[in-house]
Chains A and B, each alone.
Chain A
C-alpha cells in the first residue's frame, strides 16, 4: 500500500510517486488541508440538518476526506466524474453550489445539480451502475480524440456487482481513458469488506488487464499522486487504471443507520488514530505551517461555508404539485398528458372545496 505521509504526520519519500507532487508547495499543502476541513464541516453540518429535520437523509463521508479531496483536486475541469452518493467532497472540488448539494437530500428533487455545469453526474444510488456510465463516457472521449478522462467512484460493496466487472471488461477491451476509484471504507452498510472480497480489492484489476494502485486513502498526498498517475496514463492513450484507496467510514452508512449494531467500537478507535485531518495537521506542524493564522483562516472558511449551506437549504422553495409530471420525456407524451390534465382538474376541485369553506 502506497503511503507518503505516516499516521503520525511524517512525510516519507517514494521513488515513483514523489515526482507527481513537485508542485505541492506550502500554499498548496495548506489548500488541501483547508479543503478537507471544509468538507468535514459540510458533512457535519448536513448531518445536523438531518437531525434537525431539515434533510430527509444524509450519507456521511466522515473519515474519507483525504480520498475525496486528493482525487478530486487531481482532476481537470474537462474530466467527467461519475460517482455514488457519498462523494460530496468530490462535488465540492468540482465547484458545486452548496444548496445544490442538499436539494436531493431534502427531498425536493431527485438530483441536485446540472451535470454539465461541473462535469459531474449527480449521485448514483444503484450500486456500481455508474462505473459503466464512466466507461461509456470514456469511450466517447476516445472517439472524439480528446485528452480528457472519466473517473468513477464506488465503494468496496460495489465490487461484488456485475456492472463493475462488466465495466472493467469493457474498459480493458477498448482501452478507454477511465479511472476506477474504489474507496474501500471497509463497510457496505453492515457488511464488512471481507464478505465482498477475499483478496485486496486492487488485486482483482490485473486479472482484467488493468493496472492497479493500492494507496492509503487517508493520506491525501498518496491519493493525489496516484490519481495523477492514472490521469496521465488515461490522457496519453494508456487506458484505464484501478485505484483502491484504503480508508474508513467513521460514521454510519447514512443518517438512518446504526453502526453500533454491527461494528466493534475498538475498530473505530483504531481508525480514529489514522484520521486524515489529524494526520495532515501533524504534517503541517512538522513543516512549520500549522500556524494560528492558518487555523483561524480555515475555521473562518468552514464557518462561512456551513452558514451559507444551511441558509440555502432552509430557504429552498417547496416543489409545485404539478412538478411530479415534468421531464419524464423530452417531448409531450399523450398518455401522460392525460394523467397530468386529470390531476390538475382534481387539484382544482380541492382548491374549490377549500374556497367554499
Chain B
C-alpha cells in the first residue's frame, strides 16, 4: 500500500465520483424538464469546480497515487474500494469534469424528448468515467468500465440518428466482447498475486513471458477496441455519427482516452516484457491508423464521419507516442489525449450546432455558412487549425512531442527514425481534410444553398465553445503547467519499465552463460 498516499481530510475524489450519481438519483424524482436540465448543469459544474482543488492539492514531485481512499468492499474476495490519482490520470480526470458541463449545455435545446432520462444517463456516465480513471482496484475499474456501457448505449440508442440501433448495438457488442478476456486476465492476475486486486501490487512482477504475452493480448484487445486502433475502429464512425452531440463529445473526448490510459496504466507496468515484444506491431498499427484515418477522412462528405475518422488518426498518434517508450513520446501522448479531448470535443459541438440549424450533417448543405455565421466560423476555424496541429495551438505541442519521441526511438538494433517519417504524411493529410472542410463551410462555391435564414450562435452556444478555445491556446502557448503535472509519474513509469527490462535481460544472460 506504500504507493498510495491516503487522503485523511476531505474525501475529494469520492465526492467528485459520487456527486453526479447523487444528482442522477435526485433527477429520478424531478418531473419538470427545465429543472432537470438546471440540476444536471449545476451538478456537473459543481463537480468541475470541486475538481480544481485536485490541481492545488496535487504534489507534482511525487509519483505516488495521491488523494487515496481505501475501504473494504467485498471481503471474501479481497475486493476493495481503492482510488487515487497520479500524474497519468489527473489530467484525464480534470478533462472529464470540465467537459461534462458543456455537454449538458450543448444538449440544452438539442435534446427534445425524455430529457430527464438523458440527463440521468449523462450523470451516471460522469460517475463511471471519473471512477475508471481513479480506480486502483482492478475489479472496481472493471465494474465501472463495463457499467459505462449501459448509459452510453442508451444515449446512442434512444437519442441517436436514423441508424441508431445498428450503431448502438455495434458499440456495445464490440466493447463488451473486447473486455471479456480482460476479465479473465484480471482474475488470473488475482490468483497470481496472492489474491489481491490492488493494481499497484500487480505492477513490475516477474510473470512468465508466456503469461505476459497472453495478458498483453487480453489488454490489447480491450484497449485497442476502445482507442480505437486500426483495424478495430469500425464501431467508432457508426457510433459517432448516430450519437447525439453530447454523446459524440463524451465518446470522443473521454471514452477513447480510456483505451490509451489502459495501455499506460496496465499494459506497460504489468506486462513490460510482452510490451517490448509486441511494440513493433503496435507501432505499425498506429502508423496504419494515422494514414488510414487521414485518407478516409479526406473522402467523407458527412462532417461527423470526417471528424470520427480524424479521431482514428489522432489516436494513432497517441498510441505511437506511448509505444515509443521514451519520455517525450509518453508525455506527448498524455498531452495529446487531453488535446484531442478538447479539440475533437469542440469540433463535435460545432457540427452539432450546424445540425441543430440545418438538420443535416452533410458537408454540402453546410456550404457557405461563413457569410451568415461569422462568430461560429471563427470558432470552427481555430478548432480546425488545432485539429491538424497548427503551431500555437494545443495539438501542435502534443504532436511535436510525439514525433520528437518517435525520432528518438531507440531499439536494440539502433535508432529507427523511419517510424516518425512514416507518421508525417498523417499530419499533412490532417491539414488536407480539415482545410477542405473549412473551405466548404466558410465559402463553398457559386452554387451554395440559401443560408440567409440561419442565425449565428446565441450566448449559450458561445459560452459552450469559448472555454474550449481558451484551452486550445493555453496548452498551445504555455503547456508547461500541464506537463509539470504529469512529468514525475511518467519519468517513474519509464524508469521502472527500463529497470525491469534490464534485470530481465541480465537474468536471461546469466541463464545463457
Q: Do A and B come from one complex?
A: no
